[in-house]
């Protein structure tokens, strides 16, 4: 008979009537180690796993589970163990150690076991209890910690990513995801896991920690698993659910803050500037535009960003704060990205929309105030004075004419201001106030300017202070009627046959004063006159001769003739 069968012999071999009971009436039990925590004690009908050494009184070993390298498993109180062991194991806790003295009538009696245990032998056992379970046991789930917010819990067919430490019931570790530097990723309820884990993960929140005690019949049963999980072993898993999703999931949106006024919402083809923090479901930050002090700028709905964000940014308002939860099949899939986004990871983006526009957008003009009786409005080439405040759409102030001593001055249509502002200043009356929304293609473009971010939509509050009628492009002075027939003679005030700059200047000023013509509007009329003189002084000798003096209209006709 094999030694491993000794303790498992049916108790018929040890029927009390077959041997002298000896000096001991019953099993002597010495509980020499009792764990501080004892969640369960062995009862009749329980299935147990234990290690033992068996010796005689003189210390000679007759059997040992340690020598065989395998624990003993069996049911207590159903006659499958010798009566002394059945009694001696009652009430034991997991990890408890006992010395048992079993008298012959509770052991193998007067028959013994041939060649191994003599008749009427008293047996000494040193036992450590490793596992206890019962066929009526259920999964034991203890919630160790749970997030305050839990919008969704695990259901069958969900794909989960979790960390775990796996131990036997006595605390012996057999596996850990932490040692592999990666989560365990799998579907729930589809047979990829042992039944106990399939059940134990249901109802969990992302970020929740659980202890799951699984009886053998919901784990690896009679076969165990390899060399690390013995047959009939209860398993204890300490689980941290990192994230989960379902393959049918779409993008989940949470509107954290929506401005009261939202005149327009972003659609496919719009160019959006936004800040974001990107985290995994357990809160691990993987990216942030704030850390770069620069918005993320992109078109939406055109495949420039992950599909989940393409969808998640649809319909945003300027100034809106939105949470976008993106399942992995709409993000970076099974492969992840770099060393910060694991495979099959759910991504959470907390987004703040700074502005957006469409490449086809015009200048948006809102008239805040328009004086009554407004008959004269600005046109290209007019000289205007205006005050302005310039800001981004999120309210960030950029520039203001009020910071200077006088209003801004510009001749419209001369490319001295951004195109959007030039358009917004057209058709205004003196005293009129407007709000202008200028898209970047009519502002400072993709590159931006000093103090202006690239691709930024600008908001201008403008007030037209005054306006002066301009002159056609290329002209510095125009006549209100026909110019004098003898222009040179009238301009040559001292009749010496040449016109120096002082005579030229005096004549032009007199024509303006008499209302016969007007200069190109400017904050510096003297410079305009000086430029006119320079244009007429062809040889730059400081005076104009009759051959040099030509009207702009005559010059234009000569150029046309030359081209013809």
Q: How far apart are the first and last CA of the chain?
A: 126
Question: Mean per-residue pLDDT for 497-515?
Answer: 89
Which residue among the candidates 108, 237, 271, 504 is catalytic per the annotation? 108
Q: Scanning the structure block, which residue is given the tokens 């069958």? A: 156
Which residue among the candidates 63, 270, 361, 382 is catalytic per the annotation? 63
DSSP per residue, 204-248: PPTT-EEEEEE-GGGTTTTT-BTTTB-TT--EEEEEEEEEEE-TT
Number of domains forming the structure of the chain: 5
Question: Mean per-residue pLDDT for 244-262?
Answer: 94
Known catalytic membership, residue 125: yes
pLDDT level of residue 554 (50, 70, 90 thresholds): low
Which residue, of 442, 468, 494, is where some domain finishes? 468
- What distance in Å separates the CA atoms of residue 170 and residue 94, rounded to the nearest whole number? 6
Residues 343 and 264 in one domain: yes
pLDDT at 16 over 60: no
Task: Find the CATH number of the domain harbouring 542.
Answer: 1.10.238.10
- Cβ atoms 236, 229 nearer than 8 A: no
- What distance in Å separates the CA atoms of residue 84 and residue 105, rounded to the nearest whole number? 8
Residues 84 and 108 in one domain: yes
pLDDT tens column, 434-471:
999 999 999 999 999 999 999 999 999 999 999 998 88
Give the H or E element holding residue 51.
strand 47-55
Residues 408 and 428 in one domain: yes
- What distance in Å separates the CA atoms of residue 285 and residue 347, rounded to the nearest whole number? 10
- Cβ atoms 480, 542 nearer than 8 A: no
Known catalytic membership, residue 507: no
**What pLDDT sits at residue 72?**
93
- What distance in Å separates the CA atoms of residue 336 and residue 343, rounded to the nearest whole number? 4
In a domain, 490, yes or no: yes
Residues 404 and 333 in one domain: no
pLDDT level of residue 54 (50, 70, 90 thresholds): very high
In a domain, 421, yes or no: yes
Residues 83 and 160 in one domain: no
pLDDT level of residue 12 (50, 70, 90 thresholds): very low
Residues 371 and 463 in one domain: yes
In a domain, 233, yes or no: yes
pLDDT level of residue 557 (50, 70, 90 thresholds): low
- Cβ atoms 53, 128 nearer than 8 A: no
Q: What angle do CA 433, 436, 442 make, to 5 degrees?
A: 140
Which residue among the candidates 124, 125, 162, 332 is catalytic per the annotation? 125
Residues 447 and 509 in one domain: no
Q: What is the mean pLDDT of the chain?
A: 91
Known catalytic membership, residue 47: no
Known catalytic membership, residue 108: yes
pLDDT at 558 over 60: no
Residues 87 and 123 in one domain: yes
In a domain, 167, yes or no: yes
- Cβ atoms 518, 508 nearer than 8 A: no
124 vs 498, higher pLDDT: 124
| Alpha helices for 328-440 (secondary structure H) | 419-424
Task: Find the CATH number of the domain harbouring 209.
Answer: 3.10.50.40
Q: Scanning the structure block, which residue is given the tokens 């850390």? A: 291
Known catalytic membership, residue 63: yes
Q: What angle do CA 267, 270, 273 make, to 5 degrees?
A: 115
Secondary structure of residue 504 in the 3-state scheme? helix
In a domain, 321, yes or no: yes
Residues 232 and 145 in one domain: yes
Known catalytic membership, residue 82: yes
Residues 345 and 370 in one domain: no
DSSP per residue, 276-331: EEEEETT--EEEESGGGTS-EEEESSSSSS-HHHHHHTTT--TT-EEEEEE-GGGT
Q: Which of 93-107, 283-297, 531-545 has the lowest mean pLDDT?
A: 531-545
In a domain, 241, yes or no: yes
Which residue, of 435, 468, 501, is where some domain finishes? 468
- Cβ atoms 96, 129 nearer than 8 A: yes
pLDDT level of residue 480 (50, 70, 90 thresholds): confident
Which residue among the candidates 47, 50, 82, 185 is catalytic per the annotation? 82
Range of the domain at 84: 28-133
- Cβ atoms 269, 301 nearer than 8 A: yes
Q: What angle do CA 241, 247, 252 make, to 5 degrees?
A: 75
Spatial CA neighbour of 127 closest among 156, 170, 162: 170
Taking the mean position of all CA atoms in its chain, how far away is CA 477?
62
**What pLDDT sits at residue 550?**
84
In a domain, 314, yes or no: yes
Tokens of 61: 């070993």
pLDDT at 64 over 60: yes
Which residue among the candidates 50, 52, 159, 386 is catalytic per the annotation? 52
pLDDT at 4 over 80: no
Which residue, of 92, 109, 133, is where some domain finishes? 133
Residues 154 and 238 in one domain: yes
pLDDT at 165 over 50: yes
Which residue among the candidates 62, 187, 225, 488 is catalytic per the annotation? 62
In a domain, 74, yes or no: yes
Residues 393 and 460 in one domain: yes
């Amino acid at each position: 008979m094999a030694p491993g069968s000794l303790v498992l012999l049916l108790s018929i071999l040890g029927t009390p009537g077959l041997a002298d009971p000896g000096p001991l009436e019953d099993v002597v039990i010495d509980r020499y180690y009792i764990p501080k925590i004892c969640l369960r004690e062995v009862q009749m009908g329980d299935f147990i796993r234990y290690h033992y050494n068996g010796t005689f009184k003189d210390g000679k070993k007759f059997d040992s589970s340690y020598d065989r390298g395998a624990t003993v498993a069996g049911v207590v109180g159903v006659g499958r163990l010798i009566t002394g062991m059945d009694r001696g194991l009652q009430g034991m806790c997991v990890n408890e150690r006992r010395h048992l003295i079993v008298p012959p009538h509770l052991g193998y009696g007067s028959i013994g076991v041939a060649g191994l245990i003599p008749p009427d032998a008293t047996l000494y056992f040193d036992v450590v209890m490793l596992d206890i379970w019962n066929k009526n046991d259920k999964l034991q789930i203890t919630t160790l910690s749970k997030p305050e917010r839990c919008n969704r819990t695990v259901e069958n067919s969900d794909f989960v990513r979790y960390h775990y430490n796996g131990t036997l019931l006595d605390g012996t570790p057999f596996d850990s995801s932490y040692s592999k530097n990666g989560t365990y990723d799998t579907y729930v309820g589809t047979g990829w896991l042992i039944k106990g884990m399939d059940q134990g993960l249901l109802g969990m929140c992302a970020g929740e920690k659980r202890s799951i005690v699984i009886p053998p019949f919901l784990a690896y049963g009679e076969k165990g698993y390899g060399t690390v999980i013995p047959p009939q072993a209860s398993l204890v898993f300490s689980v941290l659910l990192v994230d989960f999703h379902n393959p049918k999931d779409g993008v989940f949106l949470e509107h954290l803050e929506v401005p009261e006024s939202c005149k327009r919402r972003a659609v496919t083809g719009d160019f959006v500037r936004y800040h974001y923090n990107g985290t995994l479901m357990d809160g691990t930050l993987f990216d942030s535009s704030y850390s770069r002090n620069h918005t993320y700028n992109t078109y939406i709905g055109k495949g420039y960003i992950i599909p989940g964000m393409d969808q998640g940014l649809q319909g945003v308002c300027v100034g809106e704060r939105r949470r976008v939860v993106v399942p992995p099949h709409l993000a970076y899939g099974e492969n992840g990205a770099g060393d910060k986004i694991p495979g099959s990871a759910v991504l959470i983006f907390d987004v703040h929309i700074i502005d957006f526009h469409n490449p086809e957008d015009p200048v948006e003009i809102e008239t805040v105030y328009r004086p009554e009786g407004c008959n004269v409005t600005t046109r290209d080439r007019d000289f205007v004075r205006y005050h302005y405040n310039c800001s981004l759409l999120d309210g960030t102030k950029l520039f203001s004419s009020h910071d200077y001593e006088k209003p801004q001055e510009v001749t419209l249509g001369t490319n001295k201001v951004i195109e959007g502002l030039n358009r917004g200043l057209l058709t205004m009356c003196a005293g009129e106030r407007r709000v202008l929304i200028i898209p970047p293609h009519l502002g400072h473009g993709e590159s931006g300017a000093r103090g202006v971010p690239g691709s930024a939509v600008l908001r201008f509050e403008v007030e037209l202070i005054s306006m002066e009628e301009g002159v056609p492009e290329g002209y510095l002075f125009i006549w209100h009627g026909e110019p004098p027939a003898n222009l040179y003679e009238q301009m040559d005030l001292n009749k010496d046959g040449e016109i120096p700059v002082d005579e030229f200047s005096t004549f032009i000023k007199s024509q303006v004063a008499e209302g016969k013509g007007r200069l190109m509007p400017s904050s510096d009329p003297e410079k305009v006159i000086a430029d006119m003189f320079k244009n007429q002084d062809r040889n730059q000798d400081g005076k104009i001769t009759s051959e040099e003096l030509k009207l702009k209209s005559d010059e234009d006709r000569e150029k046309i003739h030359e081209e013809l």
